[in-house]
Structure formats: C-alpha cells, structure tokens
Chains A and B, each alone.
Chain A
Amino acid sequence: MALLELAGVTVRFGPRTALDSVDLEVAEHEIVCLLGPSGSGKSTLLRVVAGLQEAAAGRVLLGGADQARVPVHRRGVGLMFQDHQLFPQRDVGGNVAFGLRMHGADRGEQARRTEELLRLVGLPGAQQRSVAALSGGEQQRVALARALAPEPRLLMLDEPLGQLDRGLRERLVVELRDLFGRLGTTVLAVTHDQGEAFALADRVVVMRDGRIAQAGTPLQVWQRPASAFVARFLGFDNVVAATVEGTAANTEWGKVPVPDGSPQGARTVLVRPDGVRLTDPSEGLRCTVESRTFRGSHVAVRLCPADGPPLEAVCSLGQAPSPGAAVGVVFAADEVVVLGPDAPQ
C-alpha cells in the first residue's frame, strides 16, 4: 500500500488553479522528486500534504487514512522549508530538539537525538551555536536535522539544496540519498533542478501548470520524455513538428529515422544531441556551425540548418568544428523519440 496517496487534489487561488486534479502515490521508503518550473504547483502540493493548504477538492491519504480532518501537527510528516525557517530565538540544539519536545521526548532523549542528528548532518557539537551565525549550507543542514528529528513517516523537502553553491549541492545530493537510504525515510522532494532530481530520486514527477506531465524513474523520464514540454524542461532543444510514417518522420530537417514501433501520424519528435551526428557537408542535412559551448567533458555545438529550427549536437573535445564551418548532419534512430501530445491546457 502506498504511504502517501493523492486522489484528484485540486487547489485554487482565486481564479488561478494551482493544482488541477492531481493523482500521486508515494510508496514506503521511496524517494520521489517533484520537478517543474516555478509556479507549476510543486510547493503547493507539499503544503497540501502537510495540511498547511486546504484542497478545494480531492483527498490526501497517509498510510491509507484520509487526512482531511487531521490538523497539521498531527499528520506526522516533516517539511523542510525552502528558506529553512529556523527559529531565530533558539540555538541550533533548540531548533533540532523542537519536534522531539513537541512529541514529548524527555530531556535525555532530546539531547541524545540532537547530538546524533547533528553528527549525521555533519555539524557535530553545534548545539550551542546561534542560528543567525550559520552559513547557508549549515542552516540547510540544521533544517534537515530538525525535520528528521521526530522521525516523520514522510519527509518533504522544498528545494532542499536551493541556495547552495554547485559543488556543495552535488556532494549533498549524494549524501542525502545515502542518508535516506540508510534511514529508510520516505521522501517527497521539490526541485526545479533536473540534475538534482535525477541524482536524488527513485521516481521523478514532472509538473506543469498544476498537473503531472510525466512520472517515472529518472532513466525512463530521461530516455522517453512524454511530451515536448518535458523534453524542453529537461534541457532538450532539438524538438520539431513531424509526420511519422513507418520508421521515418518527415520534419523541417528532412527525413528523420525513428525507432520501430513509434506512434504514427502528426507528432512532435525529439532528437537528443547524441543522435545528431556530424559528417561531411556533402552528406545529409547541410548546416552552418553557429557557436560552440564548452561543457567540461564535451562540447555542445549549435547548428543552423537552411530550413527549420536550430539543432544542438555534442562533440568530443578535439573534434568540434569551428563557428562558421559547414557540416552535414545525419540522425541516429536510437536517439530519436516520438513525443506524446502536451496535456491540454
């Protein structure tokens, strides 16, 4: 049975619909990441589950029990706020022990757990420090320890690594995943950063305008984006309208091969940059190199075909053509995805 179940949850702010009949299940010990641009309803979904926001329609079930009449403080969920919301008048220890105190833990237990959690998040012995004197990353760790302390059955994280620098973020994602795995915590996290979501989650839920655009494992979502929106949100730009017939799609870029068994008819097609192969200008689609962007292990090359939208290709470091050069492009079928329609607006 799913630990968390949302059925047809709808939230409206005046005329705007923030969540539009959302169905979602989170299994025990699962880490689910809600991914989407700002304003897509991710944070609202967390607030509904926490009971901080009332739903206009639909049900929220935790462990199979409807939460409609359960007040926030009895839901037994944890929520780590985007900007931490540490209690300014308490020190680090006071913040971490807060939930334990609310649940009636005795002083010894509070002290023991606080010490344990601070060690867990890498701030051993920080109990007496003032929260105002903490750096952003330290505040985040304290907020995490505070949320974990009462051992919530579901831990929700709102942009958990939002304000941190990249290096720290990448390290913390790994640490978090490791930590949640060890503790067996069920996690529902919100992020707008796909890299973070893919690194952290067992399952990714992409949201758009209050609806779920796609849900699946990071690999599924990465390999088979469900729609042009999801593809573009994941950072894929080679998306073009097409008519699919058999194993080929007619596009502005000419004929693009598609995998066997692709849906037929008027569609949108995604060609991942890996599937854009550069050849001699006399072969395939003739393009001009517009720019090159160094991406660490590879170079992204932006190409301008005579017709149709620009294309992005990936080259190894030594082989990238210079801007202005003419190249030919052929497409690899296994890197082409025929996309489904975007959800109706």
Chain B
Amino acid sequence: MVLARREVGRSLRGNAARLGLMAGPVAFFALFFAYPVAAIVGRGLHAEGVWQFGRFGEVLGRPDIREVLWFTTWQALASTALTLLIALPGAYVFARLDFPGKRLLRVVVTVPFVLPTVVVGTAFLALLGRGGLLDELWGIRLDTTVWAILLAHVFFNYAVVVRTVGGLWSQLDPRQEEAARVLGAGRLAAWRRVTLPALVPSLAAAALMVFLFTFTSFGVVQILGGPSFSTLEVEIYRQTAEFLDLPTAAVLTLVQFLAVGAVLAVHARTVRRRESALRLVDPARTARRPRGAVQRLLLGGVLTTVVVLLLAPLAVLVERSFDTPAGYGFGYYRELGTVDPSGGAFLVPPIEAVWNSLRYALAATAISVAVGGLAAAALTRRAGRLVRGFDALLMLPLGVSAVTVGFGFLITLDEPPLDLRASWILVPLAQALVGVPFVVRTMLPVLRAVDERLREAAAVLGASPLRAWREVDLPLVRRALAVAAGFAFAVSLGEFGATVFIARPDNPTLPVAVARLLGRPGELNYGQAMALSTILMVVCAVALLLLERIRTESTTEEF
C-alpha cells in the first residue's frame, strides 16, 4: 500500500534522471559487449549473403554436442547446490560470529576466487590427481571423476556465497529474530521464518552467480575434465581456437546466451520482487563471540572446511613452487626475472606480468565501479519494465562465453573510430564486463534495502538528491561498495578467457603467463607457473587485505 502510493506519486522528472543514469552503462554494454558478440555470431552464421539458421539443427543434433549440453547443465546445478550447502554455514559464521583472525580468514576464503581457473585446475590436479597428495597418502584419485570438477567449483565459489549472503546477513537486525523467538518460535523456526526470507534476495543472487560461473566454467573443466567432460565454454574454445569452426562456435555461443538469458529471466520473475526494505544495522554490532555448543560446532566445522577444501590446494600449490629438482628453494622464482634464452614463451621476463596485471585490474575496477555504480543507482527504485530489462541485461556478460567476447574484441575494435587494438585499455574493458555485474549485484540489495524515508529526511533537512545519496545511501552501502570493488578487482586479476585473446604478447597478464608456462613441457616451466601463481595469490591476498582495512576504517569514521 505504502509502496504503491510512492510509485504513483513518482514524477516524470525521476524517470528522466534514471534514464540519464542508465545511459552510461547502456552505451558501455552496447559498444564493448553487444557489438563484438553480435559481430562474431554474425560471422559464424551469416555466409554467402544469407543467414544460415539451419546450422542450429545440424549442430544441436550431434550426439557429442548434446552430451556437452547435458553435462554443462547438471554439473552447474550440482556445483551450485554443493556450494550453497558447504558455504552457507560459512556465511553465517563470518556474519554473526566474532573470532580471532576473522579478517585474515575472510581474505583467505576470497583468494581462491581470484586465482586463474587454470591454476585452480592445476592445484586440484596436484591434490587429487595421479601422484597428488591424496594419492600419495591414501591412494585416492578423483581426477577421473566429476567430483574433482565439483570440488574445484566449490573451492572457487565459496567466497561468492560467504561474501554476498554474509554481507547482508551481518547487517540484518538480530532483534527481528529475537522478536520471533519471543513470539514463540524456536531457534530454527525463527531463522527459517525471519532471517531466511530476508536473506532470500542475496541467496538468490549468490546462487545465480555460482550457477552462471559453473555453467560457463572454462579453465577448471579444461584441466580436470580431460576428454570425458566438457562444458559449452570449453567446446566453444575448442571449436574457435583448435578447429577454427566459427559456425559451430557461433551456434554454441547463442545456445549458451539463450540458456543464460532464460535463467536470468526466471530469476527476475521469481526472486527480484521479494526484495524488501529491511532494517539494516552496523555489522560490527551484530557479530558476537560464539556461545553454546551449536555455534562452536559451526565455527569448528567452517574452519575445518576452509582448511581442507580451500587451504589444502593452495598449500600444495605453494609447496610445488618451491619444490625444485635441487631441493626446496627459490629457484623457480629467480627464473621468473629472466627471459628464456631459447626464445621460449615470453618476449619479456614473466615477472613483468605482475605489473601488467595490477595496472589492468586497477583500471578495470575503476571502470566496473563507475559503470556498475551508475547502473545500481538507476536500478535502486523498482519501477517499469524498462528498468527490469536493464537489470537482467547487466547480468548477461557473466553468461556469454568469454572466449567469444575476447575474439569479438579482436575483430571489431580494430578499426577507426574505435581502433583500440594497440591500446592497453582493451584488456581492462573486457575485464570490466565481468566486473560490472558483480558491482551491481552486490550493491543493489543493500541500496534497495535503504529506507526511502531516510532519503526524505535528508532532503527535508536541506540535502539535494545527490547530496542525500552521498550522505544517506553511500555510508550505508560503503561496505557493499568495498566488497563490490574487491570482487571486480579480483575478477579482473583472474580473468582468463577473454584476456588470453586480447593481451599483447609483450604485455601478458599473470593468468595468461601462467597458462603459457603450463602449456610448455618441462619441469622448469611447470615450476615457474606454480611460482607465478603463488605470486598472484599473494598479490590478491595483499590487495584484499588493504581493502578490508579501508573498509573497517571507513565504517568507524563519521563525517
């Protein structure tokens, strides 16, 4: 009723302002997403002056392609369910419990997410594969089963659930649950009826992200899937890069696009409307020291999960980077500073990739926060079909093959007026495509939960709309913004599928350099790849630690 009133009273001026805010993001996506993807799909399906839609039937009729479609879908569903199951207790523990080393641990669980997928695959291979840790200890090998892929997906996406769900959870007013308890609900019932419904939007957002990531999984499946398991994305890469079969790649790109579009549409219809104004409080006041057996058990369980599932692969990775033929040492790291005299994989010392990656990631984060922030501001007030459509549109880059985007950049942005082929900005632009949805998805639930009357109170006290946004919305979403920026930075650092196509040979990023090293035979290259991955891991950890510092400082600051 109250909401309906506001909607009706909304002025045309507000709509115009919203459209203005949307213009930037729309132009960005049109130019750097829709255009390259459309161009490459056009190239695949448009031949001899006519559209070859018959190719859909041909390609989709092939049993091997059907196999790929089926596997892609069920492994994504299974990975999402498994991730939620394993990570939800983590979200609770990080949101509601206070324990020593929490900040460090929060960074630790985020590290896997920023690792290049290729490295994740390799780390799991080293853990679960032939001659891996489990094989050595108990003779267990999982690399020929789908479990390796699922576990790697959980490893990779644990942070998505913990940060997205936990971020909102930590700001929910615990008194709501207390009110339910007083009204006679048991501990579990109170959680199920009060907290869970409030969490649904962020849960759905997290599940959606995990599903989209695993549905389009590339590096992990490439390494761990072997010949028997292949996702759409892997298949698109093979068709594009190995067989140069652009028509098949185009059909698969469109299929993936449509599948992702369908998922987003369902999400928009079922979940979005449940977001409601929540009482948000300072997260510092909701976290408590664990009390009682249940909370201690949860904390212990989560810590164990983190150690076994997240730390073990990372530990193996680090161990391998020091494990040189001459015993443990920094041999592989020293090699990174030199150019292979045999003219190997690099024109520059591999260590250069660190600076490239940082530079690109910073630029990509700035672009993501600017574009995503504008979009989130425009979407804060739910109204109109146009706005909802725009909302869904923003998520599409997560579902469109990164390989296609990268290849599309190469064939479209190479001529005036947009000749960016030689410009370094090309890489951050491609990386920001994946970063923007993060920024929007992380900020939107929090922005929408801000009570409209707080903005009105600010306006009556003399704050212009912009000032009111700065004074009311920004402090409340600063945390979400920091989380979003961190994610965007991490995603940019780890982005591989598109970057591998567009990064110039003399300016590789870390994941590209790792992949190049892994692609070459020999223990030295393998060891260097491990060393470079370890550096990437440390860079990410340091960057995230800094971000956490900024965040906690800014939340205590008043003016």
Contact = CB atoms under 8 A, between A and B. Distances in A.
Contacts of A103: 462
B461 A132 contact: no
A153 B112 CA distance: 58
Given A14-B4, A54-B9, A71-B464, A87 B454 contact: yes
A85 B453 contact: yes
A202 to B, nearest CB: 23
A52 B460 contact: yes
A78 B461 contact: yes
A91 to B, nearest CB: 6
B323 interface: no
A268 B67 CA distance: 84
Contacts of A146: 461
Contacts of B471: 87, 98, 102
Q: How large is the interface on A (under 10, 10 to 19, 20 to 34, 35 or more residues)?
A: 35 or more
Interface in B334-356: none
Nearest to B175: A132
Interface in A44-89: 50-54, 71-79, 81, 83, 85, 87-89
Given A90-B558, A132-B281, A85 B459 contact: no
Contacts of B8: 12-14
Contacts of B456: 50, 52, 72, 79, 81, 85
B115 to A, nearest CB: 34
Nearest to A93: B558
B252 to A, nearest CB: 48
A13 B5 contact: yes
Contact of B457 (A71, A79, A101): A79
B345 to A, nearest CB: 51
B342 to A, nearest CB: 59
A99 B9 contact: no
A12 B9 CA distance: 9
B60 interface: no
B5 A78 contact: no
A94 interface: yes
| Chief secondary structure at chain B's binding surface | helix
Contacts of B472: 87
Interface string B426-468: 0000000000000000000000000101101111111111011
A150 interface: yes
A88 B5 contact: no
Interface string A114-137: 000000000000000000100000
Contacts, number: 90
B454 A98 contact: no
Interface string B469-500: 00110011000000000000000000000000
A94 B472 CA distance: 12
B282 interface: yes
A102 B467 CA distance: 8
B285 interface: yes
Contacts of B280: 88
A88 B453 CA distance: 12
B559 interface: yes
B228 interface: no
B277 to A, nearest CB: 12
B9 A77 contact: no
Contacts of A76: 462
A51 B281 CA distance: 28
A16 to B, nearest CB: 9
Contact of B461 (A13, A89, A91, A102): A102
Given A52-B456, A132-B281, A132-B285, A89 B5 contact: no
Interface centre among B285, B459, B468 (most CB of A within 10 A): B459
B462 A99 contact: yes
A102 B462 contact: yes
B383 to A, nearest CB: 15
Contacts of A74: 462
B11 interface: yes
A219 to B, nearest CB: 32
Interface in B265-287: 280-282, 285
Contacts of B282: 88-89, 132
Given A13-B5, A53-B9, A85 B461 contact: no
Interface of B: 4-5, 8-9, 11, 280-282, 285, 451, 453-454, 456-465, 467-468, 471-472, 475-476, 558-559
Q: Closest 3 CB pairs between A and B?
A: A102-B462, A99-B461, A72-B459
24 contacts: A12-B8, A13-B5, A50-B456, A52-B460, A54-B9, A72-B456, A73-B464, A73-B468, A75-B460, A78-B460, A79-B460, A81-B457, A87-B458, A88-B282, A89-B282, A89-B476, A90-B475, A91-B558, A98-B458, A102-B462, A103-B462, A147-B461, A150-B461, A150-B462
Given A51-B459, A73-B460, A102-B458, 12 more contacts: A52-B459, A73-B462, A73-B463, A79-B460, A85-B451, A85-B453, A87-B458, A88-B476, A89-B282, A98-B461, A102-B461, A102-B462
